[in-house]
Amino acid sequence: MSAYRNIVLIGMPGAGKSTVGVLLAKATSRTFVDTDLVIQAAEGRRLQELMDTLGVGAFRALEERHILSLRAAGSVIATGGSVVYSPLAVEHLKSGSIAAYLDCPLEELKTRLSNLDSRGVVRASGQTLESLFEERTPLYRHYADITVSCAGLNHEQVLDELLASLMIDE
């Protein structure tokens, strides 16, 4: 396992990338990086404010630029759900790393995401969670080296599944 420079978590907003990422970083003695927080800190504004100001296309370009400038080693990286729209950004993150897709069913995401309009979810105006899920799922599957089903699991159980998939002993 130590051969991987980073472990990159991809998936829908609300799938638990940040929460599981912190747990995974602790379990594997790695640093934790949340790309959404990196963007917010660098820009001095919340994601939703950036999207409202810039628009979806310009925000995606901004996200790509920040990810391409990210230099992390020995880290767990939780990405924003929209990172998969940028092949350049994903390939940069995956270089020498392993990408794990946290596959959370749509029905569970619906219960976790009651605040799409204020959460900073990159989507077209009026786009539903259902259509966003249908649009992104093939992209997550394409870029994933491993997939962990989160169906019916709490964060600790997802961590256990992830560790087993990565063949890491706690």
Contact yes or no for 84/139 (Cβ under 8 A): yes
Q: Is residue 79 part of a domain?
A: yes
Q: Is residue 54 part of a domain?
A: yes
Tokens read off for 91: 């390939």
Supply the CATH number for residue 60's domain. Answer: 3.40.50.300
Q: Is residue 157 part of a domain?
A: yes
Tokens read off for 146: 């491993």
- What one-character-per-residue DSSP string does 129-164 give? HHHHHHHHHHHHHHH-SEEEE-TT--HHHHHHHHHH
Q: Is residue 1 part of a domain?
A: no
Q: What is the pLDDT of residue 116?
A: 63
Tens of pLDDT along the chain (170 residues) come to: 445 689 999 999 989 999 999 999 999 999 999 999 999 999 999 988 998 899 889 999 999 999 999 999 999 999 998 999 999 999 999 998 999 999 999 999 988 877 766 565 777 777 788 999 999 999 999 999 999 999 999 999 999 999 999 986 54
Q: What is the pLDDT of residue 8?
A: 97
Q: What are the φ and ψ backbone dihedral angles of 122, each rounded to 5 degrees?
A: -75, 115
Q: Which domain holds residue 153?
A: 6-166
User: How many domains does one find in the chain?
Assistant: 1
User: Cα(6)–Cα(156) distance, rounded to whole angstroms?
Assistant: 20
Q: What is the pLDDT of residue 1?
A: 44
